[in-house]
A and B are shown apart, each in its own frame.
Chain A
Amino acid sequence: MTPALRNAVALAIVGAGLAGVGFGQSWSLALAVFNLCLISALMSLAVNIQWGYAGLFNIGIMGFAALGGLAGVLVSRPPVPAAWAAGGGGLFIALLILMAAGGLALALARYMPRSRMRAAALAAVVLAGLFGAGVFFDPAVDAIEAVEPAKTGYLGGLGLPIILSWFAGGLLAAGAAFVIGRIALGLRSDYFAIATLGISEIVIAVLKNEDWLTRGVKNVTGLGRPVPYEVDLQRDPWFVDLVAVLHSRSLEALSGEAHEAALREFAVQSSSLFVKLCYAGLFLAVLAVVFWLSERALHSPWGRMMRAIRDNETAAGAMGKDVTRRHRQVFILGSAVVGVAGAMLTTLDGQFTPAGYQPLRFTFLIWVMVVVGGSGNNLGAVLGGFLIWFVWIEAEPAGLWLMQALTAGLPEGSAFREHLLASAAHMRPLVMGLILLLVMRFRPRGLIPAGGR
């Protein structure tokens, strides 16, 4: 098969799968799956930029996605003035102390000669800074979290449109990537991987426990939307008229009460579809822009240099290319895109649930997408994102169906049967592990290899 044909086939398979869900289950569900496919594709594209362009093995994707989600809260929620009044000042002082201590520590590290004295002074400054900040931080946090804990208990956000959080999420993730890149890039790739794994666990721990910032496991619900609400649409004359026109054939036969009821029913269905379509449009636009940019980058002189570095780091280093600095650029760019995708996901969910971030779902699944797509291949990464998200979604019902078929012969209520049925949910990691290993082994360049490079 030629690459073009192969791409077409992959696209057709995903399309057919979605159509199958649409006809078999419902179009609303198919669109929901499609929207998550788009976000997955964006994350997969981002990781592919890191892996395919620079060979960076980032297994902290979850952390960057969660930072994007955090941006959703910080940008869109209204500020809580009472909480700011109660603890804002204390937080500010704590921050100042920390910054002062950090600055002093940096200055010491730079200007004092390397000695035991310097180490002791550094340790003292850091400890004093932490302790001093704690004195103001702890009471401030207690005060903030005491402000209507059932409803707020946190500082809130900026009260801006949530779509801005997509940029903010990218910036937050890029900032985190900058810090981690400073520390861990330039070391061996295994160490880098472990460091990213660590930072992502810590990000999640912070989001779960710093209630003053994120409400922690109490979650933040009811985030704003960049698209209309279903109930508003159903009341909006132009939308109802549109629905009436679209369904005029089935409505014609009806009159009076029945006509009204049917129209309302159609409006409810259509509004849900319309909202999902709006999201799909927005996501598609972001995906298209990022895809276009990364393709441009890949075929620019910069991209050629990145590939040269990837193919032979030593030679590129010898030619005077600052390999670590290039890697840092790519790492920050890719992480920023993951942050954008994370913010988009939180926007779509309409809520921020720190406990929902699982490494299996947010880190390792993305890696399966990238491997299936083929490293360094943008289109492959996107298609891999679609394909694998679809498999991930369908693995559970498929597993359940399989288990039911397998255990049909066992007596009703048998403990073994019950166990197998209950375990069907865990088919997902099994299937994903198998896909990853099989593709790596038998199709090391991915199912959708890049054409003509």
Chain B
Amino acid sequence: MLPDLVNAAVLLGNYVIVPGLAYAAQLALGALGITLVFGILRFANLAHGDLMAFGTMATILATWLLQAWGVGLGPLPTALLALPFGIVAAIAAALAADRLVFRFYRRRRSAPIVLVMASLGVMFLLNGLVRFIIGPGDRQFTDGERFIVKAREFKRATGLAEGLSIKTTQCLTVVVAAVAVFLLFRFLQRTRTGKSMRAYSDNEDLALLSGINPERVVLIAWAIAAALAAIAGALYGLDKSFKPFTYFQLLLPMFAAAILGGIGQPVGAIVGAVIVAFSEVTVTYAWKKFLHYLLPGPWQPDGLAQLLSTDYKFAVSFMILVLVLLLRPSGIFRGRVL
């Protein structure tokens, strides 16, 4: 009985907890960017997914260059070394978009929906650029040691029937995301500039009356959102693979996470991302084997015991989104009711 329990736990860890955590970390970084832009600039930036793709593309190009030079990080992926380049590229793209497109509408105090539409144009442009430079296909760019814990070795060491494998990229994702989030929160909570951003997001008019410079706040918000987008994109690409269209599709779970947590609430974005990621993974996971470990013979299911096929993972984000909109539009952490 006990080994069954342990096996079930390992199974769960291998197929639900570890991948779910990595995915949650990636979503959280993206959702943070969305919620930040939403909080400061007050519009839903549809170009965020393609901004992620753009940053990732720059990271991949730099990775190839480093690989060609023979520079690497040993067991860690070379992409980690190339990431700063991707971050700079993403920030440059976001600031250029702001200067050339968004600032105009902001100064005219256009309705938010006009800015959303403009972000559609920016999305098109970034999408075209990415596909133009690197193509629409699938790309793998991870190298170095693939696994920290290998399933076979885990089984040999523990004598269990189930193996646990942890990919280097999964571990890296969680660590890098944790560092990024820690730095972001320190910045927002402790520094004068960070507090001024929270103040601006909270009450724009009062922030102006306090002498806070709106253009500076906007600039920093874009820079942070773009940096987080590049990190999120690169980590997602390392963990899975890079395909521009996939990044566009990430918009939905990221928005679901941001709205679920409460727009303009960084903590909310993270909590929202964890909920969305784990809902997606648990709903699309086939529980058959897990239940076989835990249930007595006659109770064991014949089918896969899968609530939804993985093809419908977006439906999960959508359901969450719908439920939030219906039940609590301001989100868990009482963000701006928009």
Binding site for B on A (CB under 8 A): 55, 57, 59, 130, 134, 138, 183-184, 187-191, 193-195, 197-199, 201-202, 205-206, 208-209, 359-360, 364, 367, 371, 422-423, 426-434, 436-437, 440-441
Contact = CB atoms under 8 A, between A and B. Distances in A.
14 contacts: A57-B113, A189-B112, A195-B321, A197-B252, A202-B312, A202-B314, A202-B318, A205-B315, A209-B312, A427-B128, A430-B125, A433-B128, A437-B101, A440-B114
Contacts of B326: 183
B136 interface: yes
Of the candidates A138, A197, A422, the one having the most CB atoms from chain B within 10 angstroms of its own CB is A197
Interface of B: 43-44, 46, 101, 104, 112-114, 116-118, 120-129, 131-133, 135-136, 248-249, 251-252, 255-256, 259, 303, 307, 309, 311-312, 314-315, 317-318, 321-322, 325-326, 329, 338
A441 B248 CA distance: 25
A440 B322 CA distance: 31
A422 to B, nearest CB: 8
A198 B311 contact: no
Contact of B125 (A201, A209, A437): A437
B338 to A, nearest CB: 4
B44 A190 contact: yes
Contacts of B307: 130
Contacts of B129: 430
Nearest to A119: B327
Contact of B121 (A359, A428, A433): A433
Given A191-B329, A197-B252, 8 more contacts: A187-B325, A209-B309, A423-B131, A423-B135, A430-B124, A433-B123, A434-B121, A437-B122
B309 A428 contact: no
B252 A426 contact: no
A57 B117 contact: yes
B322 A195 contact: yes
A114 to B, nearest CB: 11
B251 to A, nearest CB: 7
Given A189-B116, A202-B314, A194 B255 contact: yes
Nearest to A436: B121
Contact of A208 (B113, B251, B311, B321): B311
Pick from A130, A189, A190, A197 the residue with the most CB of B within 10 Å: A190
Given A191-B338, A426-B131, A437-B101, A198 B43 contact: no
Contacts of B131: 423, 426, 429
B127 A359 contact: no
Given A57-B116, A183-B325, A423-B135, A433 B259 contact: no
A367 B128 contact: no
Contacts of A429: 124-125, 127-128, 131
Contacts of A193: 44, 46, 113, 116
B132 A190 contact: no
A440 B43 contact: no
B120 A198 contact: no
Contact of B120 (A190, A431, A436): A436
Interface centre among B120, B126, B127 (most CB of A within 10 A): B120
Contacts of B317: 198
Nearest to A134: B303
Contacts of A189: 112-113, 116
A364 B49 CA distance: 15
Nearest to B118: A440
Given A426-B136, A433-B124, A440 B329 contact: no
A206 B312 CA distance: 8
A184 B329 CA distance: 10
B222 to A, nearest CB: 17
B318 A199 contact: yes
Nearest to B329: A187
Contacts of B113: 55, 57, 189-190, 193
Nearest to A130: B307
A262 B125 CA distance: 50
Nearest to B114: A440
B313 to A, nearest CB: 9
A443 B325 CA distance: 35
Nearest to B312: A205
B121 A437 contact: yes
Contacts of B118: 437, 440
B252 A364 contact: no
A440 B110 CA distance: 12
A211 B271 CA distance: 36
A426 B315 contact: no
A73 to B, nearest CB: 19
Given A367-B117, A433-B121, A190 B303 contact: no
